[in-house]
Chain A
């Protein structure tokens, strides 16, 4: 945590500790340097990249291989057990994709992920994630904020609130939405809720001329303007007998200037080698958008951004993981757009040594039904069971925790909830999830509500 304090002190040079407190947020508990930046115990992870598959990624066609589903193919499910929103459900449907064992760990992965399959020994799977809702909106809130209601702070905001920033020239929490559009719940998934506004996810629209609104390289006039503004504000400060919040605002403009200089550089992929861009698939139409954003995510964590969330898929009926119509046609598109970039991200982070203290998380809001939907073999929403994986710092690669039932319908052994995933991520960052609280409207709120267990089985 020394890094942050020192950097802030430099930015706020000449100001008192109170101004610093204003800038850092007086709501934050001080992270402990003896804990490697953790709040309550030693941190193994200092930054996180979360890859979120918007729409509900199908588990039975990707990671959760179910031979029984092949046997049951064509047979109807017990109608009393069917609890799916759509109405045109059909028979059990085996995956149209071939599964194979991979790596030393022998993990089953379907053919839709050829590149990622090569890295399974780096991944730890949660094979029985479960959610108590089957609707995108509440389910996405749940996975991001721990509540099925809107208005609660998301994990990135909690991390920013609890641990603060690692740098002075970029926001602590950055979101990279799909170029096609925002996910379900729009920006509601990145909100700071009742936490102070500065913990809100900063959205970078990677394809746009101004990827971050209001943040672009300053002109000469801007630089002179900021200098004069500083002078005016200091004069006002002197006439006001000194005041920490006024000092903090002066410092905030100095930090803003630093950010204006460095943000465009962080997003400039021409600084990367041809080989690196190729590795991420930036050169192929299919993988260009997600690949670009994975590469930007790497550049951001490299520069000390705490939490980067990369989304695959927009809201609405298509262009995402919500595959109601035809799994055989829809899944290769979405999986294909992410497979190479994800594998590249893991490889690249490893090669640069960043995996030493960076965590990569892959997750989604729910899974899909083992039975079909519609005439062409889609699958409906299924909160009963789905998958997530983690890789990087503090993670035991090649293991899995939890099992779904033999059809991949409901979680059966060692189910895990969003609370457990969140608790585990916070734990890796040196935070006890039960002690990271914020009092709002009469309640000490937590990311994990009143739940959550650290999944020790997947930790190194």
Chain B
């Protein structure tokens, strides 16, 4: 009887589906997830007591359905005598215990199956269901378009009614700020007010959407979503001089109304999907927009725990940004365990990390000219494929025609390779403790000494006369880590200088050449330039032969004497195995010894022909790359860049492991590229033709996101756009459509708009048009006590909310009103601060000393140089968000420090003076100046009382002082 009553009670709850399951999902699972899973879940290698509470089977081991009193679980959480008291953190509140009793007594409904840790609630959660466009409710007189029909239906349901329409002037100021981030100029407003055509407002909306100012406004919103800044953040906050191109990309994308699917695809994999469009490559800067730990990632050996951890966290930031921005999903909550509330598996999180495991954040070369760009990107991809011996590259080096060309090339260069004679080694020594031994084959093997600036000295003799060049070969060996040729755990070496001496007399080099990694950071010339701070490395090409040739400035042609060759190394990266030889002529062409050997031999095996072809293709590509015009650069997702310290592009994506509790010390299994596993009709894991090609994985994710069937993508963007128009989304957590996010205030409207937007080609401008021409948007913002009693938060939009200007809009409005706004578009950012460097490597930024008369001082806020950590305190005071984090919503706090910033900051005082000068030029009397000030700043005529009191103030304290008051007034700061 009792049980039936409970079920009846459950059934009356406003839930969908099985009430028992719903009860489990809302009351039980969250408790299990937050209180129990950390010790008892199947994501652990050894759950405590063998208990897996994230599975049904595990649960059934401690729960007797229908009998709470007999259930071990309940005894434990009730701290019953004899039971082990759980959870560890302390007894749960009585209400929670009651929920558990209720749930077990009612049958312990559990949607999970057996041993499988299924993350639920399942795909029936509102945001995960396929989009189904509902019918538009019947329209009445007030409703101009479908938005209004939905809003009105909801208002009626709540016994509310819409407000009257705002005045034309109010509406104009609202839509100007909303679409362009600027107020109307006073004369522009007057013209609009005088326009008596019935569609005057619609015409205005069209003009604003076509204005260049529109792109500048809406690009900024997306920069918040991407947490874009132009410095790295973290310890030293170094600038990214080429980041601004992404800002210009966004401005152009919004301005050109780029279809949303394409906008999504470009930012994830524009380089791979649209190779003919250089701007699509620039778009991948989205993936690099966030902070980057330059004090951990570049300086240290990549297998150090700090660096491995930094990479996991770095990819976590990319994954969180992508999934928050495009799908409003909190996949970052599944880094340490399955998502506690949404059907996101921990494996999903790491599969998404695996998508980005081959890229880094770095300057990427591209060409504005599409043909040159296509060529450059193709060559780079070919080079990478060749390095990896990918399928396509294998086909080419096996191609008889290519092999034939390679053979012809070989015959041509053979005479110029020089002839090398082995040296006779007399003695070997090291400066800092490495043990060197001479092998029977004349090579030198080195062991030990992982210290800074180790120097190997080899005393050699040769009968050759004259000696014009010395060759150093670095040889793989099974005794070395990853076969060397270096001694580090990565098989790497790093050489800063090679010196030669005859007795005490140094022999000068005229240069060095070598086979080297293609980027410009670690060139072999470094070993003969006399500078210890430059060096040549083989990383990341472990296990491969390398060689360098050093040419002597003057030939050694005297009596044969011993020559000391000193090899000075840097870091902890010492050579493991090498060989020295000399030549009587200076070689004109270079070929690694294995290739040279192939060239010299008459009999070539199939493998020889392939190696030769590969070498030939490689130098061919390098020559073609060198012949291309100087490229542009953008700070973006990159796989091909100049190394810095240990930081270098990888040949293959880094391995990503699913980590128990997110700890790198506890890898569980390898993760493969993929996305969420919740949709049966979209791939959870990507089938890739070449798992080594990271761009293919990104392209697969891009298509997964832009798929018309992905319900999250389309709901997310229409809600986000709505959020910026109304100050609050239909879902008020624009980055979270999960269980912990807000519930939609108008679910049918969201569905309808998502379908309408998607099926109409994803035009953001059409969406703006629909929204701002609706009656809903045109309402007045005045409060109403009676309606507030019903809906104090205005969740159902019975009025337009009154909003405070955001930091950028306020700044731009002040510039415009003071006559200082400069509408130059695009280009590198303006540093609106006196910037320098401190005694360390950190930037300094003195915003107060900035000269507001400097070139570029009047440019719109979006063109400011954006320091991530040292952002402008004036903007911070107005809730400019901390860009180390994504910022889906701007807050609008109020407080004395903000008041002080607005009242006293030099930006405000200086522009008050400019405003006053502008007024003084145009009007003779103080009264006229005051009236003009009201007109310009507040866009209305002042009353006689207002003019009188202001004039009195101006006469005492000056016009600029009064201008500052206007720019501080609530009427200026708020949009009705």
Contacts and interface: CB of A to CB of B under 8 A. Distances in A.
B973 A150 contact: no
A442 B735 contact: yes
Interface in A184-204: 184-188, 191-194, 196-198, 200, 202
Contacts of A38: none
B896 A255 contact: yes
A100 interface: no
Contact of A87 (B332, B452, B946, B965): B452
B429 interface: no
Of residues A88, A315, A318, which shows the largest number of chain B Cβ atoms within 10 Å of its Cβ?
A315
A273 interface: no
B922 interface: no
Interface in B447-487: 450-452
Of residues A221, A237, A258, which shows the largest number of chain B Cβ atoms within 10 Å of its Cβ?
A221
B405 to A, nearest CB: 46
Contacts of B958: 221
B895 A87 contact: no
Nearest to A442: B330
Closest 3 CB pairs of A and B: A316-B840, A137-B235, A442-B330
A442 B905 contact: no
Interface string B875-906: 01111011111111001111111111101110
B873 interface: yes
Contact of A193 (B844, B874, B882, B961): B882
Contact of A319 (B451, B571, B839, B964): B839
A135 interface: yes
Given A233-B970, A249-B973, A150 B291 contact: yes
Interface string A74-106: 000001000101011000000000000000000
26 contacts: A85-B306, A133-B306, A137-B235, A137-B236, A138-B296, A138-B306, A151-B883, A188-B237, A188-B869, A197-B876, A197-B878, A198-B895, A214-B897, A221-B958, A221-B961, A222-B903, A226-B903, A228-B949, A228-B950, A228-B965, A232-B946, A233-B969, A255-B896, A434-B89, A442-B332, A442-B736
A186 to B, nearest CB: 5
Contacts of B782: 240-241
Given A79-B450, A149-B884, A198-B898, 17 more contacts: A87-B571, A137-B295, A137-B296, A151-B884, A197-B878, A197-B893, A200-B876, A210-B848, A214-B900, A221-B961, A222-B903, A240-B783, A241-B782, A243-B802, A245-B892, A259-B900, A317-B840
Contact of B879 (A25, A79, A193, A197): A197
A60 interface: no
Mostly, the B contact residues are loop
A235 to B, nearest CB: 8
Contacts of B275: none
A248 interface: yes
A334 to B, nearest CB: 15
Given A135-B235, A184-B235, A250-B970, A245 B839 contact: no
Nearest to A136: B235
Given A197-B893, A236-B969, A443-B330, A252 B898 contact: yes
A316 to B, nearest CB: 2
Contacts of B450: 79, 87
Interface in A202-258: 202, 210, 213-216, 221-222, 224-226, 228-229, 231-233, 235-237, 240-243, 245-246, 248-250, 252-253, 255-256, 258
A180 interface: yes
A171 interface: yes
Interface residues of B, number: 99
Nearest to B880: A197
Contacts of B844: 181
A135 B900 contact: no
A79 B572 CA distance: 13
Nearest to A90: B451
A182 interface: yes
Interface string B110-129: 00000000000000000000
Contacts of B900: 214-215, 256, 259-260
A335 to B, nearest CB: 20
Contacts of A148: 309, 313
A198 B904 contact: no
A398 B933 CA distance: 66
A159 to B, nearest CB: 16
Interface string A45-77: 000000000000000000000000000000000
Of residues B235, B291, B304, B313, which shows the largest number of chain A Cβ atoms within 10 Å of its Cβ?
B235
